[in-house]
Amino acid sequence: MAKLQAEPLPLSDSQKRWVLFGIGLGVFMSTLDVGIINVTLPTLVQAFDTTFPTAQWAALSYQLVSSSLVLGATRLGDMWGKKSLYQAGLIVFTLGSLLCGLAPSIEWLIAFRALQGLGAVFISGLGLAIITEVFPASERGRAVGVIGSVVSLGIASGPSAGGLLLNWSGWHSIFLINVPLGIIASFLVARVVPPSVRLPGKQKFDPFGALLALLTLSSFGLGMTSGQSQGFISINALVLLSIAALSFATFLVVEAIIEQPLLELHLFRNFQLSMSLLSGWLVSIVLGGGLLITPFFLEQVKNYPIAKVGLLMAVSPVLTGLTAPLAGRLADRFGSQLINSIGLGLMIAGCLGISTFDAQITEFGYVSRYLFYGVGLGLFLSPNNTIVMGSVPRNRLGIASGLLSLSRTAGNTVGVSLIGAIFGGLVASVAAGADVSVAPPEAIVVGFQGTYRFAALVLSLAAIASISRFHNLRSWTALSQTLRGFFRFTRQPKIPTYHLQALRSFVQLSQNPRDLNALNDLEEGLSHTDIYQASREYIKSHPDVLQIVQERYLAPAPDLDALLNYATDSLGYVYAFYMKKSGLNPELVGQVKIEDDNSYIRLRLRQTHHIHHIITGFENDLAGEVGLHAFYLAQTRSPLSVAAIAIGIVYTLHSKEDLHTIITRIHQGWNMGLKARPLLAQKWEENWQQPLSAFRTELGLKALVAKHSLSSLTNSGSNTDGW
């Protein structure tokens, strides 16, 4: 990798974290608004009594302005200082959001969205440059990874956030939500971001180059949009794309001869920079096209409701967001080029897996294939961005950040048109020329499979560009040394087998949440982690729990027939009735040898698990188990409970379980656990005769279980064991 020439500004670790948060908040707003508008378009058609093509300009105006002005904006950042222009971008974006929320007509909304796009130019174009200035090379990968996670989070949450805000308070709210966020981000940037470095000497802006760049990018964007809707041989598309080609050629000539150009073409002599931008552009083509065609498969082939489509579409961005910080750390340790290339390999494997989708594909099959795609994208983005930002001098960070933003938006534009045209052509070839919107499912499947095979080909070109950066003997020597270090690292106990055991058990439970053996294996795998140990220390921080742990209190398995002699409102009677009706045996709890505090807590929780169901009121079904684990999470901070909750949510993707019920139980369990006394501190077996109502009053649970009647517990008819 080329030497990172951008020296960091001297800041403490705390200051750098605040800079990362302030810049990240602005980036999140700008990426959120890219997707949040799409779900609102049908509502805008009705609200303003307009047509859908007209309403689409509310999205297009933002995208065209934010992509067309990026080179000029980032050049100004290098000249005048990145911080001041980033602040200006936040202010303009926030003001544009406020005006959008108050727009009296669709025409005004389109204009105010363009104003939003103007602010977004400086936010997306300069944010990464500021991060590169602030963080040293040894930390830069992680910082860029965090920004990559923020971008993925904004993309993933845009459609769902838009839907929620529409349901709660109408279309105005999807814009007005940015106002408080923008004010907070502006305040943070003003307080924590240090002044940026400006170019030395007297600098001149290149207005002619900026105008040509604007003409090139805007006509290209409009031409691709027109080609997608009217065909690429239509007069509008041909004229616009011809203007784009002519203005681009003129732009290159002007930039080559002018003394202080908008874009210094000699930067592209840097092979690392050029190949990284090329691979990023190719990846963006696949991303833009994939987001376009996947809903057709999920809706027209699988007949999924919109809510489920949105949830499945969020899988890949969420995985990317979770992987990006890890990719940054790995890049700092093993080099960005290696991690970047591995990411592309995983993406290619993911696309080939996705190209096998048919009408019989299950939700689990969907998620498992997109796992490779999303993780691969996370491993690609952050290291690739780090390579680009590290390939230019410090006083050219703004333009490098702008080139990254431009490669992403231009790639998305090409992807939507190119991938959309290929998909539509393949579908039409099978469906006798029918449009995608009315084509039969089998035609959609053929088009979807063929298009993702083409996507794998595009990513293969990106991989070639990425690998070509190892273009000399020194680079290949460094690569071989890095690979040897990487494999030595994987053989060390830093990636132990119990982590793999936990991961394997998580996958098994995602398919069958009632697999108790897998659950025990999951807990065993997690028990060796630092976070598990920390949760046990947190549990023992409560004096009552610490006392019972030190005492090692245990009680023999109860006689259920004897417990049925107690009053019908007693804990003993309800517990015995519950266990018998569910076909459960209190003696059949997982055997745990008590060797220390942790093993005692594991055994005690297993012994009293069904008592906790009864006390809290959570049913003995999947939703009830998830709710109880949310209760445990509030009281124990246990990673096992985090995994159980995640398993419950994932299981809804390929089962008839209701996601809304799962989310409701999580909310109820968490709130209940926060307010209640710790259940682990109770000696239930010494008070079988005590009424349930007395226990709940003592524990602070009475009001919280009002919605969960006892009859629902004892008459549920469940014959399955709990987690």
Which CATH number covers residue 130? 1.20.1250.20
> What is the model's pLDDT at position 102?
92
Q: What is the mean pLDDT of residues 432-444?
A: 80
Confidence of residue 622 (pLDDT cuts 50, 70, 90): confident
334-348, 507-521, 535-549, 661-675: least confident range: 507-521
Mean pLDDT highest for which of 101-115, 203-217, 460-474, 496-510? 101-115
Query: Strand, coil or helix: what is 300?
Result: helix
State which of 150, 170, 198 marks the end of a domain.
198
> What is the model's pLDDT at position 703?
43
Provide CB contacts within 8 A for 419, sequence distance 6+. Answer: 285, 286, 288, 289, 290, 292, 293, 451, 454, 455
Residue 8 lies in a domain: no
Q: Cα torsion for 424, 430, 432, 437, to the nearest 10°?
A: -40
> What is the model's pLDDT at position 499?
59
What Å distances lie between residue 104 and 49, 110, 169, 170, 198, CA to CA?
Answer: 12, 11, 17, 14, 41
Provide CB contacts within 8 A for 292, sequence distance 6+. Answer: 415, 416, 419, 420, 423
Q: What are phi and psi of 545, to 5 degrees?
A: -70, -45
Q: What is the mean pLDDT of residues 594-609?
A: 86
Q: What percentage of residues in the chain have a pLDDT greater than 90?
A: 9
Going by the DSSP 8-state scheme, the letter that residue 570 receives in this structure is B
Query: Strand, coil or helix: what is 362?
Result: coil
441 with 515, same domain? no
State the average pLDDT for the chain.
79
> What is the model's pLDDT at position 654?
64
User: pTM to 2 decimals?
Assistant: 0.58
Question: How many independent structural domains does the chain possess?
Answer: 4
> What is the model's pLDDT at position 710?
44
> What is the model's pLDDT at position 720?
37
Q: Name the residue range of residue 483's domain.
A: 269-494
> Which helix (H) or strand (E) covers residue 431, if one does?
none
**285 has pLDDT over 80:** yes
Cα distance between residue 473 and residue 485, in whole Å: 18
113 with 236, same domain? no
> What is the model's pLDDT at position 473?
40
Cα distance between residue 593 and residue 513, in whole Å: 25
> What is the model's pLDDT at position 591?
64
197-206, 283-292, 376-385: least confident range: 197-206
> What is the model's pLDDT at position 409?
75
**241 has pLDDT over 50:** yes
| 273 in Cβ contact with 388 (< 8 Å) | yes
Residue 532 lies in a domain: yes
**3 has pLDDT over 60:** no
Confidence of residue 111 (pLDDT cuts 50, 70, 90): very high
Q: Is 134 exposed, middle or buried (0-12, 13-18, 19+ CB in 10 A)?
A: buried
Q: What is the mean pLDDT of residues 112-119?
A: 91
Residue 329 lies in a domain: yes
Mean pLDDT highest for which of 415-424, 465-474, 623-632? 623-632
> What is the model's pLDDT at position 99?
95
State which of 494, 527, 543 marks the end of a domain.
494
Residue 504 lies in a domain: yes
Please give the residue that has the higher pLDDT: either 717 or 127. 127
399 with 331, same domain? yes
278 with 309, same domain? yes
Measured N-to-C along each axis, helices 70-80 and 82-101 cross at an angle, to the nearest 10 degrees, of 140
Cα distance between residue 422 and residue 238, in whole Å: 19
616 with 668, same domain? yes
State which of 179, 198, 217 marks the end of a domain.
198
Residues 56-105 pLDDT 10s? 778 778 877 877 777 777 777 777 778 888 899 999 999 999 999 999 99
487 with 466, same domain? yes
Alpha helix (H) ranges present in 431-570? 441-467, 473-491, 497-511, 516-526, 530-540, 543-551, 560-563
What type of residue sits at position 92?
A: V
**547 has pLDDT over 80:** yes
Going by the DSSP 8-state scheme, the letter that residue 166 receives in this structure is H
The per-type count for the chain, helices as H runs and strands as E runs, is: 32, 0
> What is the model's pLDDT at position 194?
82
> Which helix (H) or strand (E) covers residue 703, if one does?
none
> What is the model's pLDDT at position 607?
86
- Distance, CA of 504 to chain centre: 22
Residue 36 lies in a domain: yes
Cα distance between residue 390 and residue 283, in whole Å: 20
512-516, 628-632, 689-693: least confident range: 512-516
Please give the residue that has the higher pLDDT: either 704 or 277. 277
> What is the model's pLDDT at position 6?
46
**262 has pLDDT over 90:** no
> What is the model's pLDDT at position 713?
42
Q: What is the mean pLDDT of residues 315-335?
A: 77
219 with 363, same domain? no
Q: What is the mean pLDDT of residues 551-578?
A: 89
428 with 550, same domain? no
Residue 721 lies in a domain: no
Residue 9 lies in a domain: no
Residue 723 lies in a domain: no
488 with 636, same domain? no
177 with 252, same domain? no
**33 has pLDDT over 60:** yes
Residues 135-179 pLDDT 10s? 877 776 677 767 767 776 776 667 667 767 777 778 888 899 899
96 with 241, same domain? no
Provide CB contacts within 8 A for 360, sequence distance 6+. Answer: none
299 with 345, same domain? yes
Cα distance between residue 298 and residue 313, in whole Å: 9
Confidence of residue 497 (pLDDT cuts 50, 70, 90): low
